[in-house]
Structure 1
Amino acid sequence: MQEQKIYGRREGAVGHVVFNNPAKLNAVSLDMWDGFVGLLKDYAKDPEVRCVVVSGAGGKAFVSGADISKFETERANAEAQVRYDAISKEGYEALYDFPKPTIAKITGYCIGGGMNLAACCDLRYCNEGARFGVPAAKLGLGYGFLRIERLSRIIGLSRSMEFLFTAKQYSAEEAYEMGLVNGVAPDAELDSMINNITGAIAQNAPLTIALAKAAAREIAKPESQQDHKKLDVMAKACFDSEDFKEGRRAFMEKRKPAFKGR
């Protein structure tokens, strides 16, 4: 039986999505994008899933970008490129618009499309050996507006231009210093770092967290396109929720709240 190139697994309230193509440093093909979108849809519908961790198998790479060996069949000309872009964009947008917190667990290389995937997550953590880069200028690829915009919102436009103009790779320490990642840990401690974050998210109020994420996505839009009314409705739902009552009771009773997301 052929091993799945992308798969999901549940660990309590945490949904995991794993890119499983370690022989090619988890390079992504079209069928992997299809599987990725399907997993995200399943996790979005599952009320027991409070957050999602995206990672790459093998320890040598998070995602190293598109599978260049597939370019002759999947991206051989402009027409094929349009199809590939549409399917890969669906994957990136499904992650960026995912309604629950998303975390990139980065080990090793995070290159090209991997950088874009990480930028679509809410939080990013990496091991000490992680390397980051956008080699588009070395391949003649067009690195589009959304990718540059999202990267620049995280590390600033000047740093983003340095990534693109030089096509150089940056260390985990450099990535942390520029704000690209939220934390760096030795290999043996990265899982613990991620578990501490997901554990904190899982025990907090889902409706409040959903509002915070929705607000973050509105902030990323031009002010003229922001939907504050939607956020007002979500805020009201928090105050009308059973979770708000539970939070108050737990505070008065000096115990941890048991939030249900309703």
Structure 2
Amino acid sequence: MSPHVRLEQDGPVARLLLDRADKRNALDQPMWEAIPVLVDEAMARASVRVLVVGSAAPGLFCAGADIAEFAAMTPDPDWRARNQAAIRRTQVTLARSPKPTIAAVDGDCIGGGCGLALACDMRVASPRARFGITPAKLGIVYPLHDTKLLVDVVGPAQAKRILYTAGLLDAAEAHRIGLADILADDVAAAVAELTAAIAATSPHSQQASKAIIRRILDGESDDDTASSGQFDASFSGADFREGVAAFLEKRKPHFPDR
């Protein structure tokens, strides 16, 4: 396990922290391999309601892949295969994780770092955040899966602008085009407010909604037997009973961990 990435938990909130400040949290092979393992660990904890991906040090998010390692190792085809597999596993695991995820972006969010943020459900950014995906500067082709994550968030025209120019967008521009969902001077406070709101509502509803949205993004457009049955079954579930009881009793609901 890499010493530069770790998982912490505070109540219902798990935090996946990048901790390589001297390299601006650039992602090397051990980090790519560790991240999906930690994401799966967070998702397996019943007490975790939301996962926040961020930096252990303020003023940072992730400068992308470790280009020095990349330059040294890419002549080795076996290393390239392992690297590509680790990056794909990271992106797919995070993008398709069952519980809500948030990227807390308080600095540069570039290349592979921007890919991490795009794989999260939402991005909260500070005014000093900068976003960019820069494979065109290196003659690299961005993977289809990761390109789709970008297109899903900003649309095809903005995705083309970001990829063709390999430029950096400031926080205000990223917010304008939907790359940053919330722009806040105090990222930690904004993330705390958002995670509290998530933790206060039904985990059953959230996880089902996330799965349905993923199906829509994957091209489905109408209900099938499974989704219709899921909707009907929710009316006999524990979260529905608690939600109705809380409404009638004029109190906050207390939903069980999942």
Structure 1 equivalent of residue 63 of structure 2: 64
User: What one-letter code is carried by the residue in structure 1 that aligns with 2:195?
Assistant: T
Number of matched pairs: 258
**Structure 2 counterpart SS, 1:61:** coil
Contact 2:49 2:257 survives alignment (8 Å): no
Extract unaligned runs of 5+ from structure 1. none
SS of the residue aligned with 1:18?
Answer: strand
Partner of 1:171: 170
Corresponding residue for 1:54? 53
CA distance in 2: counterparts of 1:33 and 1:233, whole angstroms: 38
Percent pairwise identity:
33
Deviation at residue 146 of structure 1 after TM alignment: 1.5
Determine whether 1:212 maps to 2:200: no
1:113 deviates by: 0.7
Distance in 1 of aligned mates of 2:119 and 2:109: 13
Aligned to 1:103: 102
Q: 2 CA distance for matches of 1:254 and 1:223?
A: 38
Alignment map for 1:8-157 (pairs within 5 Å): 8-157=7-156
1:247 and 2:243 correspond: yes
Are 1:199 and 2:158 an aligned pair? no
Query: CA contact under 8 A between 2:105 and 2:187: conserved in structure 1?
Result: no
What is the alpha-carbon root mean square deviation over aligned residues? 1.9
CA-CA distance at 1:261 after TM superposition: 4.6
Moved more, 15-24 or 139-148: 139-148
> Take 1:136 and 1:145, find their aligned partners in 2: how far apart are those partners?
13
The structure 1 segments of at least 4 consecutive aligned residues displaced by more than 2 Å after TM superposition are 57-61, 72-80, 226-238
Distance in 2 of aligned mates of 1:67 and 1:78: 17
**CA displacement at 1:227 relative to structure 2:** 7.7
SS at match of 2:61: strand
Q: Any idea what the Cα deviations from partners look like across 1:171-211, whole Å, max 9, x if unmatched?
A: 0000000011111111xx21111011100100100000011
Structure 2: gaps of 5 or more residues = none
Query: Over residues 1-54 of structure 1, what are the superposed CA-to-partner deviations in whole Å (9 max), with x where a residue is unaligned?
Result: xx9200111011001000111111111112112221221111111111001000
Shift of the alpha carbon at 1:115?
1.2
Query: Residue 108 and residue 241 in structure 1: after superposition, are their counterparts in 2 closer, same or farther (change >3 A)?
Result: same
CA distance in 1, matches of 2:43, 2:224: 23
Distance 2:155 2:119 in 1: 15
Amino acid at match of 1:249: A
Q: Distance in 1 between matches of 2:19 and 2:108?
A: 14
The one-letter code of the counterpart of 1:197 is L
Q: If the length of structure 1 is used for normalisation, what is the TM-score?
A: 0.92
